[in-house]
Structure 1
């Protein structure tokens, strides 16, 4: 790996952690806590997009499309992808989660992480070159 790639990946990971911790506004409703991050600038979108693609590669995904990882019972995941080169990842750990990713455009990246029990989460991207992360904790 080149030094530039490693630095870019490190910046992407740092941006993800810092953004999720400091820029997100948590919401409490019906036994769940969630936060989302959707970068606004082109550079932030590119960095987060690279981080999500790296995460997809770690999970064994080498092509754009929809990927689901479920650990638990009574979980459901759905995708609507219209366009080209969209990548969506839903990870559900626990029971009774419902998650959806809706991508209408090209070159979008979204990850939805659900932990605990009985949470609802969604990611919607309507346009091109968008990146986002949503994490939901159900209790």
Structure 2
């Protein structure tokens, strides 16, 4: 008897949960930062290949495909820094602030409503940020 009641309760709960609307908003983000010079070189090489494929001639590049996106890259010291913001979708916001020499970072946003703010303050830092927005 208890087993039948428990099974019925589980089935009823599962059915009720599938009828609920999906939660709006939110995002999934992950960032990879180089832990050593070899990883930094690998990230820098990948970002440079991205720039070559896009025909980019400067150290900073923003690519936006969508509406209501905002992006800014600030490179204070310059000197070999590479900054990329790639946005596909709507309502994204991203800033990349590079305050040293030889820094590399790429922010890649997909979906809708992702928000990223990256600051690099030490020479030679490298990283990648990937975001998927569900707004």
TM bin, normalised by shorter chain, reads 0.7 to 0.9
Q: How far does the alpha carbon of each residue in 1:109-135 deviate from its partner, in whole angstroms, 9 at most, with x for none?
A: 111001000110122211111211001
Give me the CA root mean square deviation: 1.1
Give the aligned length. 109
In the alignment, the residues of structure 1 paired with residue 47 and residue 54 of structure 2 have an alpha-carbon distance, to the nearest angstrom, of 11
What is the CA distance between 1:63 and its match in structure 2? 3.0
The two structures have a TM-score, normalised by structure 1, of 0.74
> Which ranges of 4 or more aligned residues in structure 1 deviate by more than 6 Å?
none
In the alignment, the residues of structure 2 paired with residue 42 and residue 86 of structure 1 have an alpha-carbon distance, to the nearest angstrom, of 15
Are residues 1:91 and 2:98 paired? no
From 41, 59, 70, the equivalent of 2:64 is 70
**Is the Cα contact below 8 Å between 1:104 and 1:127 reproduced in 2?**
yes
- Residue number in structure 2 paired with 1:120: 115
In the alignment, the residues of structure 1 paired with residue 71 and residue 117 of structure 2 have an alpha-carbon distance, to the nearest angstrom, of 10
- Residue number in structure 2 paired with 1:110: 105
What is the CA distance between 1:56 and its match in structure 2? 1.2
Q: How far does the alpha carbon of each residue in 1:1-21 deviate from its partner, in whole angstroms, 9 at most, with x for none?
A: xxxxxxxxxxxxxxxxxxxxx
The two structures have a TM-score, normalised by structure 2, of 0.76
Q: How far does the alpha carbon of each residue in 1:60-80 deviate from its partner, in whole angstroms, 9 at most, with x for none?
A: 11332x211111110000112
Structure 2, unmatched stretches of 5+, are: 1-24
**Is the Cα contact below 8 Å between 1:92 and 1:114 reproduced in 2?**
yes
* Larger radius of gyration between Structure 1 and Structure 2: 2
- Residue number in structure 2 paired with 1:60: 55
**Is the Cα contact below 8 Å between 2:44 and 2:82 reproduced in 1?**
no
From 108, 120, 126, the equivalent of 1:131 is 126
**Is the Cα contact below 8 Å between 1:122 and 1:134 reproduced in 2?**
no
Structure 1, unmatched stretches of 5+, are: 1-29
